[in-house]
């Protein structure tokens, strides 16, 4: 799964970089590593990478600022790896554009599961996914990975976009938490409901009208979520009445 993939490590701890570089390289990955966000941005201007592992506690611009800068310029999966483990830290990282969050200390198997899930999402698609959704306040072009809310383009992280695509592919049907988690993060991640809620909340902030109850992504109590459209997906395109 990671053979021949290029992974960028951004961490100021030499031991962490050395261990991860050795372990990932042994699985066939091409591993690049830097100590600061500034070095990462310089490297990204010259190299194409498939995934980034980012620490938050770094000198200089810091992990959150580095995450925002990377997300503004590159559409690459970012997994934050940090000793910080509070819900607030996770929300701040997701707000900054991260796609996943792993708390230190972690097992290498856990990290590999997150990396594999990120690479699955990079090519994620469903046979029933529409090409486009058009409503008065929301437009989604799945081929172009473009979302427009109330006439303004909104940038989603790769994970947010794939959650949205999966929910739209099941429009007007309740999607259980476990099914959504496993579709996006893989079969080993069916129980992390609180983690899923963080992503859903972030997605709602970006596509739902401010200050109102959710109109697109509604909650099915004790079940999961439902993406509401005035008309359900038909073949490869969804168009809701204006």
All CATH 1.10.10.10 domain ranges in the chain, comma separated: 132-239
Cis before 152? omega within 30: no
Burial class (CB in 10 A: 0-12, 13-18, 19+), 233: buried
The least confident of 8-22, 48-62, 85-99, 171-185 is 85-99
6-122: CATH, from 3.90.1720.10, 3.40.50.2300, 3.40.50.300, 2.102.10.10 = 3.40.50.2300
Q: How far apart are CA 241 and CA 239, in angstroms?
A: 7
All CATH 3.40.50.2300 domain ranges in the chain, comma separated: 6-122
Question: What is the tens place of the pLDDT at every residue in 153-163?
Answer: 998 888 899 89
Comparing 194 with 18, which gets the higher pLDDT?
18
Domain 132-239, what architecture?
Orthogonal Bundle (1.10)
Comparing 137 with 78, which gets the higher pLDDT?
78
Question: What is the tens place of the pLDDT at every residue in 88-116?
Answer: 888 889 888 898 999 888 889 989 988 98
In this structure, how many other beta carbons lie within 10 angstroms of the beta carbon of residue 150?
Answer: 12
Which residues are bridge partners to 103 per DSSP?
82
Q: Give residue 138's Cα distance to chain centre.
A: 20
Question: What is the tens place of the pLDDT at every residue in 116-155?
Answer: 888 876 555 444 556 788 888 899 998 888 999 999 999 8
Q: Token digits for 121?
A: 């999402």
Number of H helices, E strands in the chain: 8, 13
């Amino acid at each position: 799964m990671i053979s021949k993939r290029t992974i960028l490590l951004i961490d100021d701890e030499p031991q962490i970089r050395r261990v991860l570089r050795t372990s990932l390289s042994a699985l066939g990955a091409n591993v690049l590593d830097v100590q600061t966000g500034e070095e990462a941005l310089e490297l990204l201007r010259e190299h194409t990478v498939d995934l980034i592992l980012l620490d938050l506690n770094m000198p200089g611009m810091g992990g959150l600022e580095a995450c925002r800068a990377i997300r503004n310029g590159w559409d690459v999966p970012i997994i934050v790896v940090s000793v910080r483990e509070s819900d607030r830290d996770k929300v701040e990282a997701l707000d900054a554009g991260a796609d996943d969050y792993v708390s230190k200390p972690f097992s290498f198997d856990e990290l590999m599961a997150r990396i594999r899930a990120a690479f699955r999402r990079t090519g994620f698609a469903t046979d029933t996914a529409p090409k486009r959704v058009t409503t008065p306040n929301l437009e989604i072009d799945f081929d172009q990975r473009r979302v427009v809310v109330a006439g303004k383009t909104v940038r989603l992280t790769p994970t947010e976009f794939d959650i949205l695509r999966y929910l739209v592919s099941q429009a007007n049907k309740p999607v259980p938490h476990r099914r959504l988690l496993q579709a996006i993060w893989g079969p080993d991640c069916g129980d992390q409901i609180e983690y899923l809620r963080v992503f859903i909340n972030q997605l709602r902030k970006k596509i739902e009208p401010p200050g109102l109850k959710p109109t697109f992504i509604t909650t099915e109590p004790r079940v999961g979520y439902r993406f509401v459209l005035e008309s359900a997906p038909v073949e490869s395109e969804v168009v809701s009445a204006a």
